Amino acid sequence: MRKIIFIIIASLFFKISQAQQNDAQALFYNVGIHSVFSGIGAVINKKPNDKFGKTFLKGFAQGALGGYLVFESKRLIRTFYREDDFVYVWPSKVLNAAGTSITENAVSNINFWEKWHLNIGFNRFEINTKEKFKLKYRIMPFALAGTIVTASQGKFDFERSLKTGTFVFTTDFISPNRVENARVNGRVPLFTNSVLILNNQAGDDALAHELIHTYQYESFSFVNSYLDKPLNDLFANTESGFLKTYNKIFYTDFNFLVVNALFGIEDLNSNTAFDNFFEREADYYSNRFRFD
């Protein structure tokens, strides 16, 4: 089983290094990244009596389902871009939230339907359905920091934010990327889930591209569930009033650290501003001339 897992991971990362040229490759990436890391996470969070193979396969299968839903959510953004119709965006956001929720549950080694969440900006709404319906609200601190940075660079666009379920800010100028002196029409500052676009048609055209970047940020939220055991032990056994209060108010989005580190590594190895896996994927779903 461990040899099979190694082969799957090696194959996955080879594919990740390639640009997504069609929906088959895009599907492989989204399902692959979610399924493999869900299986590994499920083993990390398995109970003492759980069998390694069974636990991995359960997490792998649930993660594959989550990855498929994430893939379909990105395709809806592509439809939004092609047809210029916001009617596709909220269904896409809900589908993306369902996919990432299922993946988080897979990593946590629980049933796929037990917990759900929806992130709007730095606000995280959690629903627990295991025993009885329970709604919980928490703040994601890194996403909050990203929103503050974005707000400092532009003006809050209420209409677009309402239509997309994402905090959208507009500005008359965005600084060029450090890699090349190209005109920039949109950006996700600090790579979280708030968007900055130009206040013109070019900015409108860039919106779908930037929304995919927010989905990339959301997609890595499964890394937070890798820390379930140490964090649960910490908050359960702590006598610190500060930590208890923090846990009630905040959900630490450690995926911020992972995504920004990966993006930085890609950026350092890029010859141009767009020679970057994250940029190529966002471009794949926001190009009118792709009809896969």
**First-to-last CA distance in the chain?**
35
Tell me, what's the pLDDT at 133?
86
Tell me, what's the pLDDT at 18?
53
Residue 102 has pLDDT above 90, yes or no: yes
**Which has more confidence, 237 or 99?**
99
Tell me, what's the pLDDT at 12?
52
For 221-268, the pLDDT digits (tens) are 999 999 988 888 888 888 888 988 999 999 999 999 998 888 877 777
Lowest mean pLDDT among 45-59, 144-158, 176-190, 201-215: 176-190
Residue 43 has pLDDT above 60, yes or no: yes
Whether 220 and 119 have beta carbons less than 8 Å apart is answered as no
Helices within the chain (DSSP H only): 2-16, 23-44, 52-83, 89-107, 141-151, 158-164, 201-219, 222-225, 228-237, 241-249, 255-268, 277-284
Q: How confident is the model at residue 271 (pLDDT cuts 50, 70, 90)?
A: low
Q: Is the pTM of this model over 0.85?
A: yes
Tell me, what's the pLDDT at 292?
44
**Which has more confidence, 8 or 187?**
187
Sheet holding 123-128, edge to edge: 115-120, 123-128, 134-139
Tell me, what's the pLDDT at 232?
84
User: How high is the mean pLDDT of the chain?
Assistant: 86
Tell me, what's the pLDDT at 176?
65
Residue 87 has pLDDT above 60, yes or no: yes
Which residues are within 8 A (CB) of 270 and not within 5 positions of it... i.e. 6 or more apart? 179, 276
Tell me, what's the pLDDT at 170?
94
Average pLDDT over residues 137-141: 96
